[in-house]
Amino acid sequence: MADFNLVSELLQKGKAKDLSALVAGMLDEGVSANDILTNGLVAGMNVVGVKFKNNEIFVPEVLIAARAMNAALKILGPVLAKEGVEPIGTAVICTVKGDLHDIGKNLVKLMIEGVGIKVIDLGTDCDAEKVVNAVKEYNADIVCLSALLTTTMLYQKDIIDALKAAGVRDEVKVMVGGAPVTQAFADEIGADIYTSDAASAAEAAKAVLIGA
Amino acid sequence: MSDIKIAINVGDKRRYVKADGAENLLEVLRRNGYRIPADCGGAGKCGKCEIEISRGDGVFKKVLACKTLAEGVSDIRLNEEKGSGLLFFDTISPSDSKEKGFGIALDIGTTTLAFYLVDMFTGKVIDTLGSLNPQRVYGADVLSRIKYATEGRTHELHALIAQETKNVVEKLMRNNDVEKIKRLIVTGNSTMLHLFADVDPSSMGASPFTPVFTQTMRYNDGAFGIFADEIILMPSVSAFVGSDVVSGGVAVDIKGGNNALIDMGTNGEMLLNINGALYCTSTAAGPALEGADITCGMGGVVGAIDSVKSAGGKISYTTIGNAPPRGICGTGLVDAISVMLDTGVIDETGAFVSGESFYITDKVFVSERDVRKFQLAKSAISAGFETLLNSAGVKPEQIDNVYISGGLGFYLNIESAVKTGLIPREIRDKVKVSGNTAGKGAVMALTDKVMLNKAEDLCRTAHVVDLSQNSFFAEAFISNMYFL
């Protein structure tokens, strides 16, 4: 019997090395990569997400858990691809132009991948044209825009405008986030979804795709 | 919309101001010259602009000024607070010039201003004055100032700092019977200097963070309405490695050995000289080390708890000015967390073993959230320093001296700093706590022209290590998060 609880626990504690070893061992034993992802890693990150929302844990623990998840995903990734698990949708994610902060963006990416969404990561300091092109190229369902600076958050609107101008605005849901972003700001710039943390972002993204 | 009359009560003084019903109270108060802190820039997040209001019924309740409209408000009650500044270092600078007269060195911090009146002939600091940066009503951090500037309000921010400088300069002259200021030397981070010079800092608000100027700037007689024959702005390296760090580097003679300088504040700015090669970086620590964004946090002013100790199960503390404790500043926070680790209140991950807060007094406490904010800050500083060493290809053992400066610098307890992981254990015996090196460097530059040349030389030769895309830093930042 594969011990998914242990996977989840090691993830929550952020024990990257132990977790990687455990995941590699489970794969050797023939446990399905998708099961490890869903029942172990994602389950663990969900606990992390809920605890974070309830103020039981804080950013440091989330970051450490995320590092462990990344380490495990490096091992799982190639096997997942072989198992041919179909993603439930595609998201394009970036930190907007002028902004180099990627901690929040990477967390959201991780959580969104965890719920089975394929993520195209455009990195930081990303201009509108790049987002529009990626939306077209990958036929994306969701666009996730991160901004940590009050000086760069307005660029989220520029990207939404560019999506409109390119005629693809209605084909995607736009999610915005980042420390200075609020629901009111999201409404003001015409974004579809705002969430205050990465776990909620993943839930919202999943709801959009399954509802659609 | 009609004009509303509001009574503003401070202590037993009362004054009436007019307001528009649709204005929020933060705007009303600022317009009337009140310096209400709003670390988040009026976004309703930080809670620092809390005031008491009454709606005509004599019953006062607490509200956030930034989120309350003036409509229907009859009275506002405020506690006025004034800063005492952080102005401490050895007060003699080498004077080769033997120039007669008086000069003033000014260190513009994002929060605090430090003025030093210097007898240029002897090189002696004869008086100091501290005050709060009046721009702080536009947000606690550099970025919120830049945000206002991008809205075309550079001149407004400039006017605030120019007026404050003029006032304090005149006060120093009056108090010391000085008739003439020959030279005013100004240092500070790049944004503060841009605003002082009335130059729009917007380009430093977003990548690639390009300053309009980094070179030494000189202004003549009466510039900005300030009473000084000559005003000199010290040179800087980049948007993030400002003239304050450069000035600090000159003050500690960074080039005199394999030396490092760490300026601890909202940004941890660092210089490292290894065999004549100079490396520098800046790491975003957040305002926790300056007492902002901490539940009971406050700047290093009178009434702030600045040290905490535990002996035999009893907690003791000191406050700045021996005043009744009103909150906790950066050094107090470092000590408190060290005590919390020692006494098992929190574990090595930063989680509370029992309880939710650590009470230093009945009213001043450190919450779990505060501990987490501190962890992010200390990890940013220590990871930044490790990355700087890594980029220069040196080990901590190879360094001769590590100077710690900044508002936090003077009172920092090194044991606590090591215990909490703010500074690496390997450099403990090399640490020299150096107070305000930026101010000291500016004082030295007032009387010794060589110092300004040295500052320019530092700027010319510095290699900037960019942490934002640095994978070594990203890994170190996570690795240093816990208290291991």
pLDDT digits (tens, 9 = 90+) for B37-77: 766 777 777 777 888 898 888 788 989 998 899 988 988 88
- The C-alpha of A208 sits at a distance from chain B's nearest C-alpha, in angstroms, of 29
- Chain B residues close to A55, C-beta within 8 Å: 368-369
* DSSP string for residues in A151-163: TTTTHHHHHHHHH
pTM of the full predicted structure? 0.78
| Probe site for chain A from B39, B141, B144, B207 (most A CB atoms < 10 A) | B207
Q: Is A158 on the interface with B (CB under 8 A)?
A: no
For the stretch B350-379, pLDDT in tens is 889 988 899 999 999 999 999 999 999 999
- How confident is residue B89, by pLDDT bands cut at 50, 70 and 90? very low
Query: Of B146, B350, B478, which is closest to A151 when you measure between CB atoms?
Result: B146
| SS3 at position A131 | helix
- Chain B residues close to A61, C-beta within 8 Å: 349-351
Please indicate whether residue B439 or residue B32 has the higher confidence score (pLDDT): B439
For the stretch B382-393, pLDDT in tens is 999 999 999 999
| Probe site for chain A from B372, B378, B483 (most A CB atoms < 10 A) | B372
Q: What is the mean pLDDT of residues A112-121?
A: 91
- The C-alpha of A75 sits at a distance from chain B's nearest C-alpha, in angstroms, of 18
Please indicate whether residue B123 or residue B117 has the higher confidence score (pLDDT): B117
| SS3 at position B250 | helix
- The C-alpha of A114 sits at a distance from chain B's nearest C-alpha, in angstroms, of 21
Contact across the interface for B349 and A60, Cβ inside 8 Å: yes
Q: What are the structural domains, with CATH classification, of chain B?
A: 3-78 (3.10.20.30)
Contact across the interface for B43 and A182, Cβ inside 8 Å: yes
Q: What are the structural domains, with CATH classification, of chain A?
A: 4-83 (1.10.1240.10), 89-211 (3.40.50.280)
What percent of chain A stands above pLDDT 70? 99
- The C-alpha of B326 sits at a distance from chain A's nearest C-alpha, in angstroms, of 26
Give, in degrees to the nearest 5, the angle at Cα A128 between A125 and A132.
125
Sheet arrangement for strand B124-132: B124-132, B112-119, B102-108, B181-188, B230-233, B217-220
Q: What is the pLDDT of residue B82?
A: 29
Flag whether pLDDT at B13 surpasses 80: no
Q: Is B376 on the interface with A (CB under 8 A)?
A: yes
- Chain A residues close to B41, C-beta within 8 Å: 150
Query: Of B206, B379, B469, which is closest to A98 when you measure between CB atoms?
Result: B206
Phi-psi region of B343 (alpha: psi -120 to 50; beta: other; left: phi over 0): alpha
Phi-psi region of A182 (alpha: psi -120 to 50; beta: other; left: phi over 0): beta
- Chain A residues close to B202, C-beta within 8 Å: 151
Tokens at B387, concatenated: 């990355």
Alpha-carbon gap, residue B232 to B181, rounded angstroms: 13
- Chain B residues close to A57, C-beta within 8 Å: 351
Interface size between A and B, measured as CB pairs under 8 A: 61
* DSSP string for residues in B298-316: --SSTTEEEEEEEETTEEE
Q: What is the pLDDT of residue B87?
A: 37
Alpha-carbon gap, residue B399 to B114, rounded angstroms: 30
Interface of B with A in 33-92 (CB under 8 A): 41, 43
Q: How far apart are the first and last CA of chain B?
A: 60
Closest by CA to B208, choosing from B379, B460, B390, B464, is B464
- How confident is residue A1, by pLDDT bands cut at 50, 70 and 90? low
Q: What is the pLDDT of residue B182?
A: 95
Q: What is the pLDDT of residue B294?
A: 94
For the stretch A9-45, pLDDT in tens is 999 999 999 999 999 999 999 999 989 998 999 889 8
Alpha-carbon gap, residue B145 to B41, rounded angstroms: 9
Whether residue B208 is preceded by a cis peptide bond, meaning omega within 30 degrees of 0, is yes
B452-468 burial code (b ≥16 CB/10 A, e <16): bebbbbbbeebeebbbb
Flag whether pLDDT at A83 surpasses 70: yes
Which of B36-45, B86-95, B120-129, B256-265 is the least confident region?
Answer: B86-95
Flag whether pLDDT at A4 surpasses 70: yes
